[in-house]
Amino acid sequence: MVSRLILILGDQLSPDIAALKAAEPDDVIVMAEVSAEATYVAHHPKKIAFLFAAMRKFAAKLREDGWTVAYTMLDDTENSGSIGGEVLRRADQYGAGEVIITEPGEWRLIEALNDLPLTVQMLGDDRFLASHADFEEWADGRKELRMEYFYRDMRRRTGLLMDGDDPAGGKWNFDHDNRKPAPGTVDFGGPMQFTPDETVTEVLDLVQARFADNFGDLHPFWFATDRTQARRALTHFVNNALPKFGDYQDAMLSDERFLYHAVISMYLNAGLLHWREICEAAEQAWKDGAAPINAVEGFIRQIIGWREYMRGIYFREGPGYTRRNALNHQRKLPAMFWGGETRMHCVARTVAQTRAEAYAHHIQRLMITGNFALLAGIDPHEVHEWYLAVYADAYEWVEAPNVIGMSQFADGGIVGSKPYVSSGNYIAKMSDYCKSCAYKVKDKTGENACPFNLLYWAFLDRHRDRFVKNPRMSQMYATWDRMDQDKRDTVLAEADAWLGRLSAGDPV
């Protein structure tokens, strides 16, 4: 008879995770593929396949290392269908009265597991650089939270890219050197791809049978599904793409899904990689003279800066965060987010790529689909559920602050001091999308006017009271106010008509 269970969730596949560190040889490790997790949003089939395959391989490795693993497959007849149900079933089976859990990344599951009629020991997830207490200590007493200052603390704490007490290269942030427009050609062939092995193939069959109706292409499936493969994917990125990561971080191209991005967030978030090994590999490339400081600093900032910061905000803001709607946006998410027809080439391409890969890079998420949803006044909770479903790296702790906060300004300005909105100009500058679009980015009004142009001004006008005094937006309002009244009236009327067609389900 054992007395303790150790729960390992699908995104907790790290050999040194807190619950495993606390485990003793007699303990039973519980892992479960359950429909509650697979259906709380309609996840992209690639995301489900990735997690189930990685879970199965992780369980096999634990067994090899001598652990007893009680693993439930989705189709097991006794499967109770939820994580809580499986913990209780295993507690009964093994006569266990206690379960050790590493804190899950979503409030939903934290609450469900804390309510179990067992002794629940929930340990902090120490795979992150900043604990909740660290973040609180940093945030408390500050009038405004800004990622940049948090990030500098993380640099000092880790010693990454530090020259004594000073930042390497003399600056904390090299963004000024980044953000170049899209290059003519891309000499990186994309992330490392892996041929499905037996375990992956079995999972693909299962996912095909059970989740074929979900938005997203299951095949071809090429993700890494274990730590060894994920490390190879990391090395491949560092050697081949990192040097140009900074330059083209914000660029977008119709036929280049990955540009110079790492495409490792799904591995990092599931536990197959650790932030430190990723950042050290990047830092080493700089030390070796293989990658420039602007690329390496920019890359490391995303991980020890933005990623940690977003997690801090999610847990600081509490379970109600995903229901925030500061701008009172109520429009339904339009069909184009699920592949419905649209003349907007930038949105159509981003959605098509998302369907194919369960991946889009940051600027596509922020400045195409996110920007559009915000300008069109779409209900942020619906936007949040879409992002949570369609990206392979999406768990609430990281997705919600990015969507509710950074992208939709639905938290009223906790993550960002101003909304990320742009007209078509920005998209035209940073991508080649506009060249193949039915709309004309140069047209500000008229039948073929780029909807981003119309909706941008309509957004500013609609939320004038809230934003007009924001010093970072005064220039935008000054430009709008300088336009003659007739032009402004035309823009607002056309924006309104366009949104009316969108809501009516007409092809736009």
Using CB under 6 A as the criterion, which residues of the chain lie in contact with ligand DLZ when the complex forms?
A: 9-11, 32-34, 37-38, 43, 48, 51, 83, 104-106, 109, 395
Question: Under the rule (CB under 6 A), what is the footprint of ligand SF4?
Answer: 344-346, 424, 427-428, 433-434, 437, 439, 441, 450-452
Taking residues 114 to 153 in sequence order and writing x for each that binds ligand FAD by CB under 6 A, - otherwise, the string is ----------------------------------------
Minimum CB separation from ligand FAD for residue 299, in Å? 6
CA dist list (Å): 173 to 154, 164, 248, 259, 372: 13, 17, 16, 22, 28
> Quick check: 173 and 161 in contact, CB under 8 A?
no
Q: Where are the alpha helices (DSSP H) in 253-339?
A: 265-270, 275-287, 293-300, 308-317
- Which of 126, 130, 431, 133 has the alpha carbon at shortest distance from 256? 431
Comparing CB distances to ligand FAD, the nearer of 6 and 383 is: 383
Minimum CB separation from ligand SF4 for residue 444, in Å? 11
Stretch that binds ligand FAD, among 73-81, 207-215, 301-309, 460-468 (CB under 6 A): 301-309
Minimum CB separation from ligand SF4 for residue 364, in Å? 12
Check binding of 233 to ligand FAD (CB under 6 A): no
Question: Phi, psi at residue 274, to the nearest 5°?
Answer: -115, 145
For the chain, what is the largest distance between any 2 Cα atoms, rounded to a whole number of angstroms?
81
Structure tokens at 143: 């009038």
Comparing CB distances to ligand SF4, the nearer of 211 and 439 is: 439
Q: Which does 48 bind (CB under 5 to 8 A by kind): ligand SF4, ligand DLZ, ligand FAD, none?
A: ligand DLZ
Neighbouring CB atoms inside 10 A of 496's CB total 11
What letter represents residue 188's amino acid? F
Stretch that binds ligand FAD, among 5-13, 135-143, 152-160, 264-272 (CB under 6 A): 264-272
Minimum CB separation from ligand FAD for residue 375, in Å? 14
Q: What's the sign of the alpha-carbon dihedral 1, 24, 277, 181? A: positive
Q: What's the sign of the alpha-carbon dihedral 317, 323, 329, 331? A: positive
> Quick check: 282 and 234 in contact, CB under 8 A?
no
Q: Which does 362 bind (CB under 5 to 8 A by kind): ligand SF4, ligand DLZ, ligand FAD, none?
A: ligand FAD
Question: In 67-151, at which residue ranges do the beta strands (DSSP E only) sit?
Answer: 68-72, 98-102, 119-123
Check binding of 391 to ligand FAD (CB under 6 A): yes
Comparing CB distances to ligand FAD, the nearer of 145 and 394 is: 394
Site for ligand FAD in 404-463 (CB under 6 A): 406-407
> Quick check: 125 and 153 in contact, CB under 8 A?
no
Comparing CB distances to ligand DLZ, the nearer of 105 and 190 is: 105
Query: Exactly one of 168, 264, 376, 404 binds ligand FAD (CB under 6 A); which one?
Result: 264
Question: Phi, psi at residue 410, to the nearest 5°?
Answer: -75, -15
d(CA 274, CA 297): 18
Minimum CB separation from ligand SF4 for residue 446, in Å? 13
Comparing CB distances to ligand SF4, the nearer of 168 and 252 is: 252
Neighbouring CB atoms inside 10 A of 120's CB total 15
Q: What is the DSSP letter of 341?
A: -
Check binding of 302 to ligand FAD (CB under 6 A): yes
Sort strands 98-102 and 68-72 into parallel, antiparallel or unpaired: unpaired
Q: Which does 393 bind (CB under 5 to 8 A by kind): ligand FAD, ligand DLZ, ligand SF4, none?
A: ligand FAD
List contacts with ligand FAD (CB under 6 A).
261-265, 268-269, 299, 302-303, 306-307, 310, 361-362, 365-366, 370, 387, 391, 393-394, 398-399, 402-403, 406-407
